[in-house]
Structure 1
Amino acid sequence: MQKLKTDRTLVIIPVYNEQSTIARVIETLQSYGLDRIRVVDNGSTDRSGAIASAAGAEVLSEPIPGYGQACWRGLQNLSPGIEWILFCDGDGSDDLSQLPSFFTQQSDFDLILGDRGATTAGREVMTPVQLFGNQLATFLIRLGWGESYRDLGPMRLIRRSALDSIQMQDRAFGWTVEMQVRAIECQLRIVELPVGYFPRQGGKSKISGTLSGSFKAGSTILSTIGRLLLHRWRKQQEDRTVPNDTNNLILLGLSAFLLGLGTLLMVPYGDFAQAEAVPQFWLGSSVMSLGFIFSWLLRSVPGVWFWVIAIALRGFLSVMYPGNDIWRYLWEGYIQNLGFSPYEFAPNAPELVPYHTQWHSLINHPDTSAIYPPLAQWGFRSLSAIAPSVLLFKLSFILTDLLTCWLLSVRFGYLSATFYAWNPLILYSFAGGAHYDTWFILPLVAAWFLFDIPQSQTENKQAGVWGVRPHSNLMESTDEPEPPGIRLRRQPKTPFWFCSAFFLGISIAIKWMSLPILSFLTWRAWRKAGIKTAAIVILCGLLPLILTALPFCSGTECPLIPTGSVFVSHGRSAEFIPHLLGKVWQASRNANWIYLIPLGVSGLWILWKFKQFRPFAESYFFALLVLSPIVHAWYFTWLVPFAVASRNMGTYWMSVGVFVYFALPYREALGRENWSLTSLERWFLWLPLVLGGLMSIWQSRGKLE
């Protein structure tokens, strides 16, 4: 065995009833020259302590149960000569043959972690509970701190001075996750190395061996992450350099006042069937938009202001009369609970006449069966089972929307996230108009965050959240060298591809529009990991749709889209490119399907051009909106989360100009039958998005994607 220079390293091994394995673990460590071994007997009822002592280890007793408690006890009364601490388990599951690679990294890193999932043997041995728990915990760490881990494994080597700076507090199963989170916060140099993992050689697992143990460990880890997130948020509020700038405070107050005033002016005028509603609605939206524009000038936004404004505005709008899509949601959930499929029976179907409600006449397109994907239908059904209530549906949309606000604020900081949280279009579409698109945006953002790692310290500092060191991994490689001062995004490892695809699949099963993004994930997986991984990505992406669609299918038929309806085949209202084309090619006005061709071509181009989720998805949604013959105001919300990161000025200006769309219900209320924007109204709607987008592209030319 290779002898290592380990005279300044102390090994700490917590044990509990591991008499059959502890001697062999100690002997293996000694064969690598690790003679300073401290075994912490955490209340064993067998001979673990005696056997460890006979094998040459120092044995300490810690009667208070808890993994972290045992590790903490082992760190007491260290001799001055100890410079490194190695933690490992006493059950024989750690592959100690990898120790030489750990010690060769000591000069370059402060914390060296074993990544069990990086080896085939490790992945095969880890239980489903361990795999799921690791992915969930590392995903939450990525969201909260912007750094990517792959494992929370027990084998780890840490510099003593680094451990002192961390100041560990946890005394239970949260010990490992706290160490890794605090390592990020203390800007330690971190590396994960691939290690093997063996089936437990003796004793009984206290975590994965029982359901209650797994639940307890998982709860502890999640609560530890929550506690650390709360501590981090509080510390940011205390330490953040918030300029004592009178101008910033005035702008913040003015923005909040105008947003609130505009919301209150808007709330009474949500029923667009009333001719006087839309002009008053425009007044409210204009005041909101002015407050929103003032928020672009802010230099900082305290967390309390961010959340109070975001929640209050949505609360005001929750009592607003909703858009007419809500009646479809209520109806389709209602008839499912009566045993009817909304894909087979349109609202005006004769079979459903006995079940008409007081609001049945308010349902839009009553001769068309359901167009919403199956997971959305399950959502409608679940809420309607409680009560077919507009307020209940709105509250579900608001809660989902606030979760999206939270994800964006954690990732990009409060200042950047105001573009979504205080956006008049977002506020009206979900809290006021009660459109369900927020259900599809939340898992889409989660899929994005799982796939894309923060690009650089520069990006993070601009977002006002992180300024941490690059997280290293010797297994990673990129296609391009890193320019000085810039850290390129790392492509996620396979488990994150699968998780990203699954969240994207949830988005697809709620709204069809995100389906083409699955081609991007599949393509990247194929390029980076091969066709087998790509096939699993496709399966993960389609699984939510398949599972939720099965109850609506019979035999070989799954009538999920009413392709024969006028609404789907040639409905038009506020389109851009199809409107321009229709002026020179009259026949194109009655054939929506032809726009699948340019959309497919543009999709292939952006698939070839972009390697990250955000630019691909943002470019795809832009192309979809510009080319789509069917466009509604709330469709533009699909772009807003991505503009929080890209700062695309087209989306910024579109968010305040989009309310011209409501000229359509205004003319209908006046008795005019033409449900189509005029040319002037179209230019007012589309020019901000197109010109602002081109401006952002011009300003960012030459930058790395």
Structure 2
Amino acid sequence: MTVPATNFDDILVIIPVLNEEETVGTVIHSLQDLGLQQIRVVDNGSCDRTAETALNAGADVLSEPIPGYGRACWQGMQNIPEHIHWILFCDGDGSDDLSVLPKFFAQRQDFDLILGNRRVRPESRAAMTPVQNWGNGLATTLIRWGWGHPFQDLGPLRLIRRSRLEQLNMQDRGFGWTVEMQAKAAEHKLRTCEIPQGYRPRQGGRSKISGTIKGSIQAGSIILSTLAVLYGQHLQLLYAKSPLRKYSVWLSAILLMAGCAMIVPYGDFTQPGMVPPFWRGVSVMGLGFVMSWTLPQVSKVWFWMVAIATRCILLAMAPGNDIWRYLWEGRLQNLGISPFELAPTAPELTPLRTAWWSMINNADVSAIYPPITQLGFRGLAAIATSILLFKLAFVAADLGVCWLLQRRFGRLRALIYAWNPLILYSFAGGAHYDSWFILPLVWAWLCLDTQPRRAAITLAGLGLLGVSIATKWISLPIIGFVGWIFVRKREWTWASISVLVPVMPMLISALPFCSLTSCPLIPTSSSFVTKGRSAEFLPIGTLLSAPEWHNAVLLIPLAIALLFLLWRSTQVGDFTESYLGILLLLSPVVHAWYFTWLVPFAVASRNWGTRLVSLSAFVYFALPHRESLGAGNWLLTSSERIWLWTPFVLGWLWTWYFRRSQSLFKTSPGTSQ
């Protein structure tokens, strides 16, 4: 049946196409027979005569050379005449039965968005590929769970009121266009209906999504990620309307400080029963930390008040057992003895044993902390072998990191570090020295990534990088990356300087501990170094015969990963974050506070893996809990390993994927589902 064109002068048809020469003309003629004369075909980079065919059929043809279904739809929406009040989207592959459109037009009075439903008719459902059926079913189910709207299909055939479409503020430029439109329609309470439509296998060309395994996986992942982002925005809107928002900074601060107070009595994990109440307090801290993610802003007073108050509270907490080695090795140096030469159990040191000597961990192993760290221990011990003094030194460096991050990225983003439960416990509570390593590393990163580059700042960054290496060896590979940056730019002088300057702090600080014939800075013969295991991601000790497995073997995959990062990375911060993440995944020895190395970089990257592991890392304390109960096996159970590592891995993958999603939208050709 042909309908007079004048009935539909306020409807604009947009057809995104890619290599659909065989079918686009027929689709255009079918639309014209229904009275639709205002037809825009958006050529999304076709290699055939699609554009010419569409033009000859009477359509206006636009070009969008950057691939992406959503991008083509968006291009079609530009410069629409004022008299257009409705927009009809359809595909150009001939798969949709357009004879149903009069039913769409009849519903315009009562609805804002009218959709075709291919899945209600058995014959249409059967014509869809299994990937289409499964993907559409999953996506509509998730929309129903998230927004409470019972859509049944994500089909491309849809008629939407122009004013309402503009209200949706569509952002997706790829495969997620249709799912974004429907999720936002539910969010904005659009009046919607679905009309059964016929569907047949595409009449020409090849599907860019459901026709290939790669396309199906790519489209599915983008659709799921789009829904995740939209649901996050949905929750933010709900929270914004909640009365809790007005008091969110108060609640976050109170929970963080209350949680800190709750864990103070339970820091001595050598005593049975300490870890469960410690976990309860950490849970309260974690809730306050999560609430801080929702803050729209934070004042300078709130930022520093909570950052300092929480750390002050935790100064009263019993430290972790690393502190006793710090005190011991600082004391030895002030007595003229190198901690690299003799392990705490050495008979020569028996007369020097203190009341707390028995609490030193791995007492049969000589010092493993690098030279600058040892000199720091020596300086503090020269004042007093005091736990509080050491804690204050670690917290001072910790607060220095807070200052650097809030200065560069702003207070709101710096909350990921400043109010982080793992950071708070590790330095102020557990008294781990890693803040001494993090401070020069972060400072070096900020200097080396400063643009435009200035010689003095770059030299300072290289020197600080050397200090971080001489504080903890693990930042050594960063020298290679910085040098490689200059080599790629053929700046040979800077390439040489980038190696020589960081080496100087290491060499100078090593002089008190080395001679011409000996420099025992790493106890490589120790079984703790060669075969130690602790909370590792890869359960090598379980899968393989642990006595036969040397930890040095893991340097091979680490080296391969570093080569990949050298090729891929362009910024010091990006390289360092990726390198440290991979290092933790491969390391056979992982302690909860090791994850603090990543937290400053999450301020810049907003890495969800780091955010989540700041909470899940506390599963690690099941190990000292079992030890306090008399169990000698220092290995995570399978369920504990899953609880600790899964949030980190999934969050890391999500962040990586989300970073790439915009480029995927731009580079992935496609049609709708």
Give the TM-score, by structure 2 length: 0.62
**Which residue of 2 is the match for residue 64 of structure 1?**
none
Q: Give the counterpart letter for 2:578 in structure 1.
A: S
Q: Give the counterpart letter for 2:523 in structure 1.
A: P
Note the alpha carbon deviations across 1:189-217, whole angstroms, 9 max, x for none.
xxxxxxxxxxxxxxxxxxxxxxxxxxxxx
Give me the whole-angstrom Cα distance separating, in 1, the residues matched to 2:663 and 2:329.
46
**Which residue of 2 is the match for residue 631 of structure 1?**
590
**Which residue of 1 is the match for residue 94 of structure 2?**
none
**Which residue of 2 is the match for residue 656 of structure 1?**
615
Question: Does structure 1 residue 526 correspond to structure 2 residue 487?
Answer: yes
**Secondary structure, aligned partner of 2:470:** helix
Q: Which has the higher contact order (CA 8 A, sep 6+)?
A: 2
**Which residue of 2 is the match for residue 590 of structure 1?**
549
Note the alpha carbon deviations across 1:231-260, whole angstroms, 9 max, x for none.
xxxxxxxxxxxx999643311111111111
Q: Give the counterpart letter for 1:642 in structure 2.
A: F
Q: Cα–Cα, structure 1 residues 704 and 416, in superposed 2: closer, same or farther, change >3 Å?
A: farther
**Structure 2 residue corresponding to 1:696, chosen from 631, 647, 655:** 655
Give me the whole-angstrom Cα distance separating, in 2, the residues matched to 1:257 and 1:297.
15
Aligned residues of 1:651 and 1:689 also touching (Cα < 8 A):
yes
**Secondary structure, aligned partner of 1:700:** helix
Aligned residues of 1:248 and 1:299 also touching (Cα < 8 A):
no
**Which residue of 1 is the match for residue 470 of structure 2?**
509
Q: Give the counterpart letter for 1:618 in structure 2.
A: E
Note the alpha carbon deviations across 1:575-621, whole angstroms, 9 max, x for none.
012x1x55544368631000000001101101110110111000000
Note the alpha carbon deviations across 1:422-458, whole angstroms, 9 max, x for none.
10000000000000000000000100110113xxxxx
Instruction: Percent identity, please.
Output: 56
Give me the whole-angstrom Cα distance separating, in 1, the residues matched to 2:526 and 2:452.
42
Higher mean displacement: 496-505 or 357-366: 496-505
Displacement after TM superposition at 1:276 (Å): 1.4
**Which residue of 2 is the match for residue 233 of structure 1?**
none
Give me the whole-angstrom Cα distance separating, in 2, the residues matched to 1:338 and 1:639.
36
Give me the whole-angstrom Cα distance separating, in 2, the residues matched to 1:533 and 1:591.
37
Q: Give the counterpart letter for 1:359 in structure 2.
A: W
Note the alpha carbon deviations across 1:498-552, whole angstroms, 9 max, x for none.
2211111000000011111111111112222533321111111111010000110
Give me the whole-angstrom Cα distance separating, in 2, the residues matched to 1:298 and 1:673.
44
**Which residue of 2 is the match for residue 575 of structure 1?**
536
**Which residue of 2 is the match for residue 381 of structure 1?**
378
Higher mean displacement: 401-410 or 587-596: 587-596
Note the alpha carbon deviations across 1:453-488, whole angstroms, 9 max, x for none.
3xxxxxxxxxxxxxxxxxxxxxxxxxxxxxxxxxxx
Give me the whole-angstrom Cα distance separating, in 1, the residues matched to 2:337 and 2:543.
45
Give me the whole-angstrom Cα distance separating, in 2, the residues matched to 1:563 and 1:411.
39
Q: Give the counterpart letter for 1:342 in structure 2.
A: P
**Which residue of 1 is the match for residue 628 of structure 2?**
669
Aligned residues of 1:424 and 1:655 also touching (Cα < 8 A):
yes
Give me the whole-angstrom Cα distance separating, in 2, the residues matched to 1:588 and 1:641.
36
**Structure 2 residue corresponding to 1:497, chosen from 426, 440, 458:** 458
**Which residue of 2 is the match for residue 547 of structure 1?**
508
Give the TM-score, by structure 1 length: 0.59
Give me the whole-angstrom Cα distance separating, in 1, the residues matched to 2:452 and 2:645.
34
Aligned residues of 1:582 and 1:589 also touching (Cα < 8 A):
no
Displacement after TM superposition at 1:674 (Å): 0.5
Give me the whole-angstrom Cα distance separating, in 2, the residues matched to 1:587 and 1:673.
16
Displacement after TM superposition at 1:557 (Å): 1.4
**Which residue of 1 is the match for residue 112 of structure 2?**
none
Q: Give the counterpart letter for 1:341 in structure 2.
A: S
For the pair shown, the structure with the greater C-alpha radius of gyration is 2
Aligned residues of 2:531 and 2:547 also touching (Cα < 8 A):
no
Unaligned runs of 5+ in 1: 1-242, 454-489
Q: Cα–Cα, structure 1 residues 589 and 692, in superposed 2: closer, same or farther, change >3 Å?
A: farther
**Which residue of 1 is the match for residue 575 of structure 2?**
616
Give me the whole-angstrom Cα distance separating, in 1, the residues matched to 2:547 and 2:360.
29
**Which residue of 2 is the match for residue 306 of structure 1?**
303
Question: Does structure 1 residue 562 correspond to structure 2 residue 523?
Answer: yes
**Secondary structure, aligned partner of 1:524:** helix
Q: Cα–Cα, structure 1 residues 587 and 432, in superposed 2: closer, same or farther, change >3 Å?
A: closer
Aligned residues of 1:650 and 1:690 also touching (Cα < 8 A):
yes
Give me the whole-angstrom Cα distance separating, in 2, the residues matched to 1:306 and 1:451.
27
Give me the whole-angstrom Cα distance separating, in 1, the residues matched to 2:505 and 2:532.
29
**Secondary structure, aligned partner of 1:388:** coil
Aligned residues of 1:497 and 1:521 also touching (Cα < 8 A):
no
Q: Cα–Cα, structure 1 residues 426 and 337, in superposed 2: closer, same or farther, change >3 Å?
A: same
Question: Does structure 1 residue 333 correspond to structure 2 residue 330?
Answer: yes
**Which residue of 2 is the match for residue 397 of structure 1?**
394
Give me the whole-angstrom Cα distance separating, in 2, the residues matched to 1:499 and 1:326.
31
Q: Give the counterpart letter for 1:430 in structure 2.
A: F
Give me the whole-angstrom Cα distance separating, in 2, the residues matched to 1:448 and 1:244.
39
Note the alpha carbon deviations across 1:654-687, whole angstroms, 9 max, x for none.
1111100000000000001101111110111100
**Which residue of 1 is the match for residue 431 of structure 2?**
434
Aligned residues of 1:321 and 1:432 also touching (Cα < 8 A):
yes
Give me the whole-angstrom Cα distance separating, in 2, the residues matched to 1:382 and 1:704.
51
Query: In the TM superposition, what are the counterparts of 1:63-102 in structure 2 within 5 Å?
Result: none
Displacement after TM superposition at 1:703 (Å): 5.5
Give me the whole-angstrom Cα distance separating, in 2, the residues matched to 1:396 and 1:518.
27
Q: Cα–Cα, structure 1 residues 526 and 680, in superposed 2: closer, same or farther, change >3 Å?
A: same
Question: Does structure 1 residue 292 correspond to structure 2 residue 304?
Answer: no
Q: Cα–Cα, structure 1 residues 548 and 451, in superposed 2: closer, same or farther, change >3 Å?
A: same
Unaligned runs of 5+ in 2: 1-239, 665-673
Give me the whole-angstrom Cα distance separating, in 2, the residues matched to 1:380 and 1:574.
27
Give me the whole-angstrom Cα distance separating, in 1, the residues matched to 2:476 and 2:533.
22
Give me the whole-angstrom Cα distance separating, in 1, the residues matched to 2:256 and 2:286.
7
**Which residue of 2 is the match for residue 273 of structure 1?**
270
Q: Cα–Cα, structure 1 residues 677 and 244, in superposed 2: closer, same or farther, change >3 Å?
A: closer
**Which residue of 2 is the match for residue 31 of structure 1?**
none
**Secondary structure, aligned partner of 2:320:** coil
Aligned residues of 1:494 and 1:533 also touching (Cα < 8 A):
no
Q: Give the counterpart letter for 2:648 in structure 1.
A: L
Displacement after TM superposition at 1:354 (Å): 1.1
**Secondary structure, aligned partner of 2:345:** coil
**Secondary structure, aligned partner of 2:316:** coil
Aligned residues of 2:533 and 2:541 also touching (Cα < 8 A):
no
Aligned residues of 1:273 and 1:668 also touching (Cα < 8 A):
yes
Question: Does structure 1 residue 680 correspond to structure 2 residue 653?
Answer: no
